[in-house]
């Protein structure tokens, strides 16, 4: 009896021991510089256990039974790493270094992309890497995020000079840009070829054109989430670049070098870039009708304290400036964006969770002064934001939750005001997201609770993304959600050229007043709201060719904007007039719908991307339904890149863009405006003011826009750690006269950029 009990007890202990499971977690990094390796495949050989790294190089493999395994890691551009790993505890942490390899692993790359497509929803989001940006023609000798984002499905760009981004029917102010967790205002320079982001500093950039999850709030249309990489932890390295457009430099390296005897490392990275087009346009590009007065200077720096287990602290700061002096004697314009922040990643010792946080402060100032009058405008926004989040991993499932807060102070001054209009606003948010699998179905429900303190408004915003893998090569996807924001649009679409944007938040005390009703309904809520509905499919036609199709429908309510129908002053003498004729701000509704088709071919040497977007935008105010000035019906982008030679050191790239004409309000004529301000005034002898008479609101269409850009790059290995690259590019190859604007007074036609050849030299060491 005793022997039987002892045998049973031993058997139970054995079963319990084998029923225990463990978690393997860790980071995959580049052995040459310590940077995370994104989207690497991590598998336990001869098992069904596996995972892939995220944009921070982090991976988790759950429910692993105790034992000894062979861990294999694969990533494009790196040699395979194979190591033995003993699973003897509940939590096994590791750090894996991959050595760069000249071996070309196109099959691994394709396999990784296919697997990522099956296990992520990828609805209306494009994950961008520096390698993809550099496949673009290098305009001015530099490939730039601003050039790449213009070719994304659903994105409309309004022009080469002073251009704005409009995404699936949303206005420019409805786009949110995040840099390392900090909200950045106006990240694009006045010449639309460059952003404030240095391409070689970008680790990854996620551009959501709709249906984004609950971790993002405060915008109706889109989110651009950019993260920069950390400095080289092994050695000092950098880049120097010089072209006919501008120059840039990067320097990075260790302060405390990473090695086997130290549990942590300290590294830095600094970058600076500037444009001197105002000088070169007078000499090299002297054939242009007028100089290109676009100068900018950007500087960014980051210091990283990282431990071997993966926890890290980043402290970063930047100063971005833009200066436009006397463009065609219209105005002087400049802006300055400064910021400082800190972010961290923590790995709790007994959990597979990843805890992230950020605190940041930034200030954005912009000024515009007319060169022909005394008119001057200025606007600034000071912003503090903080966020804390945690991601829990349950095999393939994930639970993410967090809180965030952003507090803004805006100050706007117009020439008609004696002192600035100061406003304070605070937005707080809390969210929960879950990513789960049921058979071939991937579902990502999320919900966000947003509270706008200055308006005392709280609302619940549910969101949902779905993907169903019909086969390994064919996938259906969908997304929907509710969104809100308090920032309002202050640009008049009647302005010929307007580089100035003032930041104002919605509320009953808006300067100049806001209407109290819209089409018979009382206006007592001031948040702008939107609903997104998206459906799409992905099909891998061949090993290297994929098609992606998406259709969308977006509703927008309570849109607050400058009142184009204002005719009279808001005073006692006009109290009997309808408010939409006297108030400065009006309320509108809107809708946007359309679809995108994109074809992508990539075999490692040849890269082709073809995109067609069809869209329609409508806005309805108190008196009419019209198309806003950024309603582009058809948009086509074709991009091609090919690498020649055994070492692929010579590359040709081309990009062609076509966009149908934007709507505009034609000038019907000119006249004299007599005020009739005094009873009995003799209008036959009174002197009025010169007035432009407008035709039907956006009743005409501008000519279509199209442009071809090409570039050729050649790379040379000059030293053991140095590469010299020579770049020759041509913008607007066939010198298309794309219309910029017509001067309403002089009827002078002003075009976008003409043909612009450039040459650039880059040294990486």
Specify the 3-state DSSP secondary structure of 323: strand
pTM: 0.88
Angle at 628 between CA 591 and CA 139, to 5 degrees: 110
Q: The tokens of 221 are what?
A: 């249309």
Q: What is the DSSP letter of 453?
A: T
Closest by Cα among 9, 758, 36, 64 to 345:
36
Closest by Cα among 279, 281, 280, 275 to 295:
275
Tokens 């249906």, located at residue: 211
Q: What pLDDT shows up at residue 113?
A: 66
By CB atoms closer than 10 A (0-12, 13-18, 19+), residue 762 is: buried
Q: What pLDDT shows up at residue 730?
A: 94
Domain 125-662+702-764 has CATH 2.30.40.10: no
Q: What pLDDT shows up at residue 92?
A: 85
Q: Which residue has the higher pLDDT, 129 or 270?
A: 270
Q: What pLDDT shows up at residue 328?
A: 64
CATH assignment of 20-103, among 2.30.30.90, 3.40.50.1380, 2.60.40.1120, 3.40.50.740: 2.60.40.1120
H-run or E-run covering 108: helix 106-119
User: Domain locations in the chain?
Assistant: 20-103, 125-662+702-764, 665-699
Task: Please give the mean pLDDT across all residues of the chain.
Answer: 86
pLDDT at 353 over 80: yes
Close Cβ partners of 505 (under 8 Å, ≥ 6 residues apart): 408, 410, 423, 425, 454, 486, 487, 488
Cross-strand partners of 86: 68
Alpha carbon 526 to its chain's center? 26
pLDDT, mean of residues 656-669: 87
Task: Of 9-18, 535-544, 660-669, 683-692, give the lowest mean pLDDT range.
Answer: 9-18
Encode pLDDT of 239-298 as tens digits: 999 999 999 999 999 999 877 778 889 999 999 999 988 888 888 888 887 778 888 999
Cross-strand partners of 539: 474, 547
Percent of the chain surpassing pLDDT 90: 46
Encode pLDDT of 36-57 as tens digits: 888 788 888 888 788 888 878 8
Specify the 3-state DSSP secondary structure of 212: coil
Q: What pLDDT shows up at residue 418?
A: 63
Tokens 């018979």, located at residue: 520
Q: What is the DSSP letter of 200?
A: G
Encode pLDDT of 668-681 as tens digits: 777 766 554 444 44
Encode pLDDT of 357-372 as tens digits: 999 999 999 888 866 5
Q: The tokens of 129 are what?
A: 């890497």
């Amino acid at each position: 009896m005793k022997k039987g009990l002892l045998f049973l007890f031993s058997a139970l202990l054995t079963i319990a021991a084998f029923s225990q499971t463990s978690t393997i977690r860790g980071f995959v990094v580049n052995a040459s510089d310590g940077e995370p390796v994104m989207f690497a495949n991590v598998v336990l050989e001869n098992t069904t256990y596996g995972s892939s790294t995220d944009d921070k190089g982090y991976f988790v493999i759950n429910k692993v039974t105790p034992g000894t395994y062979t861990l294999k890691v694969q990533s494009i551009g790196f040699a395979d790493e194979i190591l033995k790993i003993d699973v003897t505890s509940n939590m096994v942490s590791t750090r894996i270094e991959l050595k760069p390899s000249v071996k070309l692993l196109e099959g691994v790359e394709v396999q990784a992309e296919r697997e990522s497509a099956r296990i992520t929803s990828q609805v209306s989001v494009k994950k961008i890497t520096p390698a993809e940006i550099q496949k673009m023609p290098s305009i001015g000798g530099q490939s730039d995020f601003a050039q790449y984002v213009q070719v994304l499905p659903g994105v409309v760009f309004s022009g080469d000079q002073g251009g704005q981004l409009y995404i699936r029917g949303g206005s420019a102010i409805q786009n949110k840009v995040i840099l390392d967790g900090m909200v950045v205002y106006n990240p694009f320079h006045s010449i639309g070829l460059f952003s404030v982001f240095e391409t070689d500093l970008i680790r990854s950039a996620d551009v959501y054109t709709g249906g984004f999850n609950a971790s993002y709030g405060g915008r109706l249309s889109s989110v651009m989430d950019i993260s920069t990489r950390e400095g080289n932890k092994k050695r000092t390295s950098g880049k120097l670049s010089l072209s006919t457009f501008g120059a840039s430099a990067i320097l990075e390296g260790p302060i405390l070098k990473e090695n086997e005897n130290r549990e942590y490392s300290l590294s830095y990275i600094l970058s600076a870039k500037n444009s001197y087009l105002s000088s070169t346009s007078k000499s090299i590009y002297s054939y242009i009708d007028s100089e290109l007065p676009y100068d900018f200077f950007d500087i960014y720096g980051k210091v990283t304290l990282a431990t071997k287990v993966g926890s890290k602290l980043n402290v970063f700061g930047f100063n971005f400036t833009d200066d436009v002096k006397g463009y065609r004697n219209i105005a002087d314009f400049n802006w300055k964006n400064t910021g400082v922040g800190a972010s961290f990643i923590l790995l709790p010792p007994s959990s597979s969770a990843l805890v992230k946080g950020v605190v940041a402060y930034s200030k954005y100032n912009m000024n515009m002064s007319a060169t022909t009058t005394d008119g001057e405008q200025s606007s600034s926004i000071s912003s503090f934001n903080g966020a804390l989040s945690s991601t829990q991993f349950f095999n393939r499932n994930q639970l993410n939750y967090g809180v965030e807060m952003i507090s803004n102070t805006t100050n706007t001054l117009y020439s008609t005001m004696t002192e600035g209009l100061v406003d304070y606003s605070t937005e707080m948010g809390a969210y929960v997201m879950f990513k789960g699998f049921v058979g071939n179905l991937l579902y990502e429900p999320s919900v966000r609770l947003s509270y706008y303190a200055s308006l005392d408004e709280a609302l619940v915003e549910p969101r949902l993304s779905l993907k169903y893998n019909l086969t390994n090569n064919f996938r259906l996807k969908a997304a929907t959600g509710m969104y809100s924001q308090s920032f309002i649009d202050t640009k008049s679409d009647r302005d010929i050229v307007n580089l100035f944007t003032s930041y104002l938040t919605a509320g009953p005390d808006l300067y100049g007043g806001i209407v109290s009703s819209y089409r018979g309904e009382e206006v007592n809520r001031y948040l702008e709201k939107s609903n997104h509905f998206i459906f799409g499919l992905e099909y891998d036609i061949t090993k290297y060719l994929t098609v992606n199709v998406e259709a969308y429908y977006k509703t927008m309510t309570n849109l607050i904007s400058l009142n184009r129908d204002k005719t009279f002053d808001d005073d006692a003498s006009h109290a009997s007039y309808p408010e939409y004729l006297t108030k400065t701000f009006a309320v509108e509704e809107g809708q946007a719908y359309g679809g995108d088709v994109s074809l992508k071919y990539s075999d490692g040497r040849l890269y082709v991307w073809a995109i067609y977007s069809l869209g329609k935008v409508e806005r309805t105010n108190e008196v009419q339904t019209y198309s806003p000035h950024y309603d582009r019906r058809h948009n086509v982008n074709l991009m091609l890149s090919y690498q020649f030679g055994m070492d692929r050191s010579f590359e040709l790239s081309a990009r062609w863009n076509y966009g149908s004409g934007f709507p505009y309000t034609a000038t019907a004529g000119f006249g004299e405006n007599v005020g009739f301000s005094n009873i009995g005034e003799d209008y036959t002898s009174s002197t009025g003011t010169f007035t432009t008479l407008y035709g039907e609101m956006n009743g005409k269409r501008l000519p279509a826009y199209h442009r071809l850009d090409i570039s050729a790059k050649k790379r040379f290995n000059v030293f053991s750690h140095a590469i010299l690259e020579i770049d020759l590019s041509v913008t607007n190859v066939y010198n298309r006269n794309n219309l910029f604007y017509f001067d309403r007074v002089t009827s002078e036609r002003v075009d976008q950029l003409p043909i612009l050849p450039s040459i650039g030299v880059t040294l990486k060491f």
